[in-house]
Each structure stands twice: as C-alpha cells, then as structure tokens.
Structure 1
C-alpha cells in the first residue's frame, strides 16, 4: 500500500495524485460522518463502460487494500487502486449541484473525450474497452 498525505491547503498540491475541492470535501465529510464506518474514506475508481469507454465510480470504504494510493486532502481520505491511478492522476473530485440535483464528479486532466453526462471518459487514442462505450449516457 502506498500512503501519501498532503496538508489541507486551499488548493491542490503540485504532484499530488488526486485531490478534492472544498465543496466536495464538505459534502464527503458529511456523508462519511453518517456512514457509521470508522476511519472510512472515499474510494475513487475506474471501470470499463459508459458512452466514452471508461466510467468513474465512488464508494465509501473503510478498507485499505494492497497497492492502494491513499491521499488525505482537506480532511478527506481518498483511496485509489493501482489499476485506476494512472487514469486518475491529477484529477479533482468535486460536488456539483444543478437543476437535476447534485452529485460527485471528477475533473480529469487525462480525459480527452467526455460523455455529456460527465460520468464516463476516454483517454487520448484509447479505444473503448471490450467494444463497450457506444451507448448514450443512459447506458451506465
């Protein structure tokens, strides 16, 4: 397990693997407090699928798995598995509210193509894994 901790600054630390916005941290801390899980964090991961080839996932997790990168930003523990890290490096987790409600999103500098709903993406030159990704945003 790779543990990385950064000070709770008001902005991402250069070279930081993954970060969370101030509003995202406020929402995440509230959700984590209600989870009933001691020492829980937000697991951010990538899976195949979605309209652009890859899809973001997030879950409350109190487990630290072998190979995880752990970043503490703005008081929130972010856990990323070793397979997802290259696609998430430099990303910021945020919480966005709009007319359709609200939810967590990922601002990913590695994504070269995004689905209109913001939950899936493709990296430069990458094909959709396993022929997936041709559906619209409703295919999540």
Structure 2
C-alpha cells in the first residue's frame, strides 16, 4: 500500500524554481523544501512567509516541481489556493513575488494582504 501525499494548488514558475535551486546549491543542501505560509501581521492583516525548511509537519501539503519541493501548512492552504510564486529580478524589484487570486487587497509595500 502506498502512502498518499496531500498536494496544494500553489504554482511555482520555472524562473522561481531555478532561483530556489540556485539558493539551495549555495547552501550546499538538497534536503530543504520551500515553505510558504500565511501569518497574521502587516498593515493589511496577513503576511506571506517564504523560507527553507527541513521539517515536514503533520498536515503539510506538498507539491514537487522537478527537484524543488514546495510545502504549505494546512492552515495557510486556503489562503494560497491558486497562488503563483515567481521571482523578479529587475531594477525596481528583486525577490520572490506571490500573485494570489484570494487577496482582496494589499498594502502599498506589497508585503501584506487581506
């Protein structure tokens, strides 16, 4: 009997996946996943958190994009359903971005939403 893994609906663009691979290579680690979470905070009420995590917790939803694993906790999954993680590298913005169809609005800094 095979164990089924619950998956989430967060997308990771090829550009973002390439950046994740590059960052993991710099760290010399291949055992880390990109964890995406939603936490209370920010001027609009909710904030995104993206970080590398070696743990997989009960209820985590996992999706693999080639050799890149993206993990979302069960509480954050409804807020992130259908969201797309990308990586921008331009003069006016550098870093991971999240395009979230569930966000009703965001603050001017773009770091929080509601």
Short-chain TM bin: 0.7 to 0.9
Give 5+ residue unaligned stretches, structure 2. Answer: none
Question: Are residue 58 (structure 1) and residue 50 (structure 2) matched?
Answer: yes
Does residue 112 (structure 1) correspond to residue 114 (structure 2)? The answer is no
For these two proteins, the number of residue pairs brought into alignment is 112
Aligned to 2:80, which of 74, 78, 88?
A: 88
TM-score of the superposed pair, with normalisation by structure 1? 0.72
> How do 1:124-135 residues align onto structure 2 when only pairs under 5 Å count?
none
Which consecutive aligned stretches of 4+ in structure 1 deviate over 6 angstroms post-superposition?
none
For the residues of structure 2 that align with 1:37 and 1:74, how far apart are their CA atoms?
Answer: 16
Pairs within 5 Å for 1:59-78: 59-78=51-70
8 A Cα contact 2:6 2:60, kept in partner: no
Q: CA deviation at 1:116?
A: 2.2
Q: 2:10 aligns with which of 18, 26, 29?
A: 18
Q: Choose from 68, 77, 98 the match for 2:90.
A: 98
Aligned-partner Cα distance in 1 for 2:74–2:17: 23
**1:45-102, Cα deviation, whole Å (9 max, x unpaired):** 0111112110001111111111100011243200011111110111111111232451
CA–CA separation in structure 1 for the residues paired with 2:51 and 2:109: 19
Query: Could you list the runs of 5+ residues in structure 1 that have no partner in the other structure?
Result: 6-15, 123-140
Tell me if the contact between 1:53 and 1:120 (Cα under 8 Å) persists in the aligned partners: yes
Q: Please say which of residues 49-58 and 112-121 is displaced more in the overlay.
A: 112-121
Among 28, 46, 53, the alignment partner of 2:38 is 46
